[in-house]
Amino acid sequence: MYELVVIGVSSGGIEALKTILPALPADFPVPLVIVQHRESGGDDFLAEHLDTMSQISVQEPEDKERIEPGHAYIAPAGYHLLLEADGCFSLSVDPPVMYARPSIDVLFESAAAAYGARVIGLILTGANSDGAAGLKAIRQKGGLGIVQNPETAHSPTMPHAALNMAGADRVMDLAGIPAFLTGLLQEKRRS
Catalytic residue numbers, as ranges: 10, 37, 130
Going from the C-alpha of 68 to that of each of 39, 57, 127, 171, the distances in angstroms are 26, 10, 30, 27
Burial of 191 (0-12, 13-18, 19+ CB in 10 A): exposed
Can you list the positions of beta strands (E) in the chain?
4-9, 32-36, 57-59, 71-74, 80-83, 89-92, 119-123, 144-148, 170-172
- Strand, helix or coil at 27? coil
Quick one: which of 152, 186, 144, 161 has its CA closest to 19? 152
Quick one: which of 34, 171, 173 has its CA closest to 103? 34
Written as one string, the DSSP assignment of 62-74 is PTTPBP-TTEEEE
